[in-house]
Chain A
């Protein structure tokens, strides 16, 4: 079942390549294949490049600097190094070749180290996942225009998820000197226009001092909440200039900006409402960036003995704590008299319901989930964003106390204000509330355990079974779950004991498919440096957007256990199309599949183990019998513990 990673014996590799080439020429009727010389085709399958094209691809667009001086891009490396950036996930391109060469030859390919990516979307998503573990941004370089177009969707995810990514887009600005043809196709007046709606800031420096200012400013803005991607459009010619006197150039010192906090009066008013509430509820989404953020939320919840509903945009609250009440969220909100939302992506959607049933003039049922007189409090840095086009700010929810500030940075003041405002007369009632929540926590855990037992032996394999088989193999390790689990009933965050800030990293932010696999590799890269074991449950549809990131994991020896949640479909869309067919009283056309036409990834089923194996990754599967999971996972865990990535393809229930 398992396929061991093939050894990289050069002699065998070369002979294998020759055999593969010969096999490609074998006629289908089984006759002896002619030799390659005899079988020379009358017309080549790929025409040689024209002189113009060859010059455009290989030509030197600008004169090599003459005389004394150092390459300008060496100075750019000095600027980048001043910010202690660890890696540069990147697909190489001509427009930043100067900086590329400086990074690896002048900069020694360390801090930052070049990470070869096969797609710019993967580069950005790797940086996205990396930040959510390491708390530090990565630099991504991409070709202006075409590379940035590839990167755009991943940048939108990072934008929606409030994650900083520092992007350099190469562009050859001088129309009078840049080569015609391909380099000009890949240049634009304003490459940043493409992503300006979902980046926090951009600039196009025209000198080296300008670059130094812009890069440090970009880093600073990206790292000030709300954290967001930023972009520097970098002229190809500027990189390739010679600097006569390097000593005259200086690099601005980076000083972290204190994060914005909620207004003091508003904090005290929030505390007053919370301590006097009979049924306060805390809801957290993209709150905790650090262990400290998680512990502050524990402190707030314990001071109030208030339940916490974790929307899991981050690892906000330990699910082992009795105030973790996510399972009873809707009922708690319905009874709440005060609700505080901490960095919620969608406050309206938190306190209102939407049912996609075609009612209400076809737009679906919309109804409030809370009491009409419930008081609402919000702390969110997203109010400080001022972009208008993309609608990631969601529907407007009117709240009673609203603070434009970073919730994690505001929590110390809020915790203190709550402790000060809490009268002794309230403490007995609050303790009683805590006792009831302790009982509810135990009951919810038991319900989740019971629910996991259903379909335990099913084929396709139940997602609960898959989750617990994996947990059994890693529970004694210092593990980190680096993929989302929303798509398979959230089993890990419901059943695995999670009490460390790296135990899960939330989801993509903008729900753009193609995030999960590269973000997991990026997070695993950060975990590798911290000595942790990374595991990713990987949706099949998501993987196929950027499967090349598996090769990146192998090439750079990034240890990561990938377990395929292979339901062989775009399952969200399966259900949407079925719903539309029913609403229109039509039988959904299935074609030759078991889901509506256009929604299945089947016939043929993709062999993900073979796919991973082709990249040199240890892989196994497809696993269809749940009894086979344990031994295969055990082997895979050993591979990852030895420092390599591994993939196990599990054919699963839909959710």
Chain B
């Protein structure tokens, strides 16, 4: 577990900071495999998340956690055994911390 968290933190350029929930959530997001379909910033992909984004502005906690626990579509459900409640809460905090981009401020994306 520690090795995985350290690797995840290394990938994201952050030291593990278990006390800060958003920062720990960032590492947990990698460790539990969320990044595999949703990208490391929850940006999603039309190939792996049907184009749905987790962040910014994630679903409210109740809806978010209920979906993670009970999903029966392409995303497999994550039981508490696989993804403990504390980690899930930290992941939600991480997703909340991701700022919204300004698409019009990106020259390469000018229409």
Q: Which residues of A contact B (CB under 8 A)?
A: 355-357, 359, 365, 445-446, 449-456, 458-460, 462-463, 465, 468-469, 471-472, 486-490, 494, 571, 574-575, 578-579, 581-583, 585-588, 590, 592-596, 653-655
Contacts and interface: CB of A to CB of B under 8 A. Distances in A.
B13 interface: yes
B60 interface: no
B85 to A, nearest CB: 15
A582 B51 CA distance: 22
Interface in B43-80: 43-48, 51, 53, 55, 72-74, 76-79
A472 B4 contact: no
B46 A594 contact: no
B19 interface: no
B72 A359 contact: yes
A593 to B, nearest CB: 7
B4 A456 contact: no
Interface in B90-107: 101-103, 106
Contacts of B33: 574, 578, 588, 595-596
B36 A595 contact: yes
B76 A592 contact: no
B101 A654 contact: no
A585 B77 CA distance: 9
Contacts of A452: 103, 109
A551 B35 CA distance: 34
A462 B76 contact: no
B88 to A, nearest CB: 14
B6 to A, nearest CB: 10
9 contacts: A357-B74, A455-B41, A458-B39, A458-B40, A459-B13, A486-B47, A490-B46, A590-B4, A655-B37
Given A460-B11, A587-B81, A594-B31, A450 B103 contact: yes
Given A357-B72, A451-B51, A462 B109 contact: no
Nearest to A579: B76
Contacts of A355: 73-74
A575 B37 contact: yes
B30 interface: yes
Interface string B2-15: 01100110011100
Contact of A356 (B11, B41, B74): B74
B109 A449 contact: yes
Contacts of A595: 33, 36
Contacts, number: 117
Nearest to A577: B33
A179 B27 CA distance: 63
B83 to A, nearest CB: 9
Given A490-B46, A574-B36, A655-B39, A586 B73 contact: no
Contact of B31 (A487, A489, A571, A590): A590
B103 A453 contact: yes
B70 to A, nearest CB: 12
Contact of A455 (B39, B47, B48, B79): B39
Contacts of A654: 35-37, 39, 45, 48
Contacts of B102: 453
Nearest to A458: B41
Given A490-B47, A579-B76, A653 B111 contact: no
Nearest to B13: A459
A587 B47 contact: no
A11 B103 CA distance: 54
B40 A455 contact: yes
A226 B92 CA distance: 52
Nearest to B110: A449
Contacts of B45: 463, 489, 654-655
B79 A585 contact: yes
A350 B50 CA distance: 16
Given A455-B43, A490-B46, A587-B81, A357 B73 contact: yes
A588 B103 CA distance: 36
Q: Which A-B residue pairs are the 9 nearest by beta carbons?
A: A582-B76, A454-B43, A453-B103, A655-B45, A455-B43, A453-B101, A455-B41, A468-B108, A489-B45
Nearest to B50: A330
Nearest to A575: B36
Nearest to B72: A357
Given A583-B76, A585-B82, 17 more contacts: A355-B74, A357-B74, A451-B51, A453-B109, A454-B53, A454-B101, A455-B43, A462-B43, A463-B45, A472-B108, A486-B47, A488-B47, A578-B36, A653-B43, A654-B45, A655-B45, A655-B48
Contacts of A487: 47
A125 to B, nearest CB: 23
Contacts of A490: 46-47
B41 A454 contact: yes
B51 A585 contact: no
Contacts of B41: 454-455, 458
Contacts of A596: 33
A453 B106 contact: yes
Interface core residue of A579, A590, A593 (most chain B CB under 10 Å): A590
A162 to B, nearest CB: 24
Nearest to B107: A472
A571 B36 contact: yes
Contacts of B101: 453-454, 456
